[in-house]
Every structure is written in C-alpha cells, then in structure tokens.
Amino acid sequence: MRLWLAYPLLVAMVLLAAAGHRTVAQGTAAMHKRGEALLTKNCASCHAVGTTGDSPRADAPTFRTLSKKYPIETLAESLAEGLFTGHPDMPEFVFEAPDVGAILAYLESIQER
C-alpha cells in the first residue's frame, strides 16, 4: 500500500475507534436517562426518583437508598414480573427486559454509598 493511501486509512480507523467508544459512553448515559424517565413517569408520584429530595409519600422509600436494604439487582425479577403486589397502595408494574436493564442501571447510578 502506498503511503499517501495508508495515512488517511489510518486516520479513518482511529476516528472510527474513537466514535465507537463514544457510542458506548452515550449508550450508558442514554440508558440512565431512559431508566430515570421510566421511574419518573411511573413511580415519582410516590417515590423520590433522583439524588435529592424526599418522597412525595412519606412511607415510600427514596430510590437512592434502596440498596441499603437489598442489592439493586434483586429488583430485576420484581420489575419484570410485576412489582411488589404485596403493597396494596402500589400499582402493579411489569417492565420489558430492556426497560428493566435501564431502570436497574439508573438505580445503581444514584445509590448513596
């Protein structure tokens, strides 16, 4: 391969690789956003969804403290199969797998450690 051709090719490869990394980072941010949006829509009437503030309903735990009670992953099943039907005030939610992933990723990202 001649040099004048090899150089632009190399540049293109480096740019593509960089773009790939950016996509992964954006993917995580987008996933957190999606999880946050889902929780805001479905849960924020009772729970504090973000990193600050109290739950609108005093008896509903703030989401950023959930991991103090149990690991966040353990919510996966409840989210996918109908959430906490044992709590009479809380409506039943069933989320699709990608939404469960987004919700868990978001919850993980806001936990107080």
Please report, as ranges, the residues that interact with ligand HEC according to CB under 6 A.
39, 42-43, 45-47, 57, 59-61, 66, 69, 75, 83-84, 87, 89-91, 93
Q: Min. distance of Cβ 39 from ligand HEC in angstroms?
A: 6
Q: Min. distance of Cβ 43 from ligand HEC in angstroms?
A: 3
Dihedral, 72, 76, 82, 88 alpha carbons, nearest 10: -10
* Minimum CB distance to ligand HEC smaller for 25 or for 58: 58
- The 10 Å CB-count burial string (b at 16+, else e) for 31-52 is bbebbbebbeebbbebbbbeee
